[in-house]
A = this chain, B = another copy of it.
Amino acid sequence: MEMSSKLLERAVAEISQLPGIGKRTALRLALHLLKQPADQTQQLAEALQKLREDIVFCSKCHNISDAEVCHICENPHRDASVICVVEDIRDVMAIENTGLFKGVYHVLGGKISPIEGIGPGQLTIVQLVTKVKAGGVRELIFALSGTMEGDTTNFYIYRQVKECDVVISAIARGIAVGDELEFADEVTLGRSIMHRVPFENSIKSH
């Protein structure tokens, strides 16, 4: 696309490097910013710079944080002996939103994926294993995505901590609340039946 301004061209090139944003959308966003007060662009640019420069990852759980230890790990009301292992920060937010988990997290930073070239060394697996081996951890809950990569990662960690005195569990897989059985895939439905829970438990879970 021929543009009459190098400044616009550069902005569009930079914006379209973001995932899921093509040249056309980038142009639309750039032209939108030009129509808004200069303040808005200034604040957006500043927020991005500050985010990238000042953010730290919690030294305990590797969650995104403004301080050396995040507010979850710091909270005395959270049970540090129950660790929920998740892929990334968004999973922490999703579980926090349920309000049902009172333990702490360990953010792996991804899952083992030979196809994407992600090995165990690029994740925070060593830190997790060290934490477990140091003792004081009662339960490890695997809350990774239910894909082959997720299973591989779970199993990789499992092999390294199975000798430790720790309960290792995984989040339940099954038919989502509100979903119709007939549209569920067979594997999920199968797991739902195999991992059935006492009825009294099933009704007080929410």
Contact = CB atoms under 8 A, between A and B. Distances in A.
A2 interface: yes
A53 B27 contact: no
B93 A2 contact: yes
Contacts of A41: 48-49, 51-52
Contact of A5 (B10, B14, B31, B55): B55
A89 interface: yes
A48 B33 contact: yes
A52 B48 contact: no
A152 interface: no
A167 interface: no
Interface string A23-48: 00101111111100010111111111
Contacts of A6: 66
Assembly of this chain: how many copies?
A: 2
Contacts of A17: 40, 44
Residues of A contacting B: mostly = helix
A201 interface: no
A157 B105 CA distance: 64
Contacts of A38: 52-53
Contact of A45 (B1, B29, B40, B49): B49
Interface of A: 1-8, 10-11, 13-15, 17-21, 25, 27-34, 38, 40-55, 58, 63-66, 70-72, 88-90, 92-93, 96-97
Given A2-B97, A10-B50, A31-B88, 8 more contacts: A2-B93, A5-B66, A5-B70, A7-B50, A11-B48, A14-B44, A15-B48, A45-B45
- Interface pairs A-B: 8 shortest CB-CB: A41-B52, A45-B45, A11-B51, A14-B47, A14-B44, A11-B47, A45-B49, A45-B48
